[in-house]
Amino acid sequence: MRWHAAGRWGIIARMAVFGIDYAWGRPGPAALKRAGAKFVCRYLSHDRTGKNLTRAEAEELSRAGIWLVVVWETTASRALSGRAGGVADAREAQRQASAVGMPAGRPIYFAVDFDAGPSHQAAINAYLDGAAGVLGRFRVGLYGGYGPVKRALDAGRAAWAWQTYAWSGGRWDRRAQLQQYSNEHRLNGVSVDYNRAVADDYGQWRVGDAPPREEDRPGYVSVGLAAEQELPPGVWTTVTWDREYADGDDQHPAGGPDVLSGPARYALTAAVRVRGLPEGTRLRARAVEAEAAAPDRFDAGPVRDFTAAGEETNLLYGLAADVVGKDRRVRLQVFQHGPAPARITGGGARLLFWKG
């Protein structure tokens, strides 16, 4: 087992994929394909002057083989409206996304389109919490500069990130699936921005179509938990997943803790919701690789630290890439330093893997 803080993504990730975002203009599929764009990022909002993605446009792009990603933006600082704003925006974003043909389960990015500082983060996190209450945490993405992206991911408030080079000072958060790296270009008379996808799954879709699953694509596992699980203090607790959303390769025994069986290369993202801890309580999460025949024997991966935010705390754990050996299993564990038992009340894990 080889754990690296920076990951070994270069071994298993694909090359960056070029994409374009635009607002009121429409370059058209032919111009987009001539430019080499494989995907476009398009808007959902309250605008009625032509900014938003339409069903006709989505179908035209889909027929041309171009993937779509959607972002919700009304005003640049709308995310400062807190939880209530997040709830309202996510409901309308969900309605619009369904109307233009986005398949169920695909994420929606929410824009923080200004130089948001640490003092803004509490409101932004509350906004994302509101959106998660409507969509589910695994469908919430954030568009913004390095600071708000990093803080939201660190706090487990978003599972997807589209980072812009603006307000980023040359820094990139490796967890962001999308990067907007250059603005104010012209394509077929339309102002466009350049983007790159740096993950295989960056929230893309076509009308009636989820991401492709060619033979050289990785396998995919998506699991969740419905039943609450006790989280005692002072011990590492292995999360038991009792729901399967995707497991075409039979990696996850129903109702068990295993997310993946080896040998395989993999990338893991997991989210867990914890209730019943006093504010300020320290929590920790880690992935482990346990022996199939003796689960008590395992190797532990990097530990991520969290702090309880109050009645409910969301932990988002990510491991960019690693390798699990033969007859070993990947699991997630949580540790809490509180004075009494707490509860794991929800969560999910998704994992890309390459066998052999």
- Is 9's pLDDT higher than 50? no
Q: Specify the DSSP element, H or E, that contains 158.
A: none
This prediction has a pTM of 0.62
Is 26 a member of any domain?
yes
**Is the domain of 187 the same as that of 235?**
no
The whole domain housing 299 covers 219-355
Burial of 217 (0-12, 13-18, 19+ CB in 10 A): middle
Q: What is the pLDDT of residue 13?
A: 36
Which residue type, as a one-letter code, is found at position 347? G
Considering the domain architecture, whether residues 298 and 335 belong to the same structural domain is answered as yes
Q: What confidence tier does 319 reach under pLDDT thresholds 50, 70, 90?
A: confident
Domain annotation covers residue 206: no
The amino acid occupying position 47 is: D
CATH code assigned at 262: 2.60.120.40
- Kindly report the average pLDDT of the chain as a whole number: 89
CATH number of the domain where residue 44 is located: 3.20.20.80
Q: Do 19 and 37 meet the contact criterion of CB atoms below 8 Å apart?
A: yes
Whether 90 and 27 map to the same domain: the answer is yes
pLDDT at residue 3 in the model: 31
For 171-212, what is each residue's pLDDT tens digit? Answer: 999 889 999 999 999 999 999 999 999 988 899 999 987 765
Q: For the chain, what is the domain count?
A: 2
As to burial, measured by CB atoms within 10 angstroms (0-12 exposed, 13-18 middle, 19+ buried), residue 142 is buried
Q: Kind and range of the H or E element at 331?
A: strand 328-336
CB under 8 Å to 225, separation ≥6 — which residues?
Answer: 239, 240, 241, 242, 243, 344, 346, 347, 348
**How far is residue 130 from each of residues 3, 86, 279, measured CA to CA in Å?**
34, 4, 20
Are 27 and 101 found together in one domain?
Answer: yes
Per the CB < 8 A criterion, the answer to whether 71 and 143 are in contact is yes
Give the pLDDT confidence of 215-265 residue by residue, as tens digits: 445 788 888 888 999 999 999 999 999 888 777 666 766 668 999 988 888
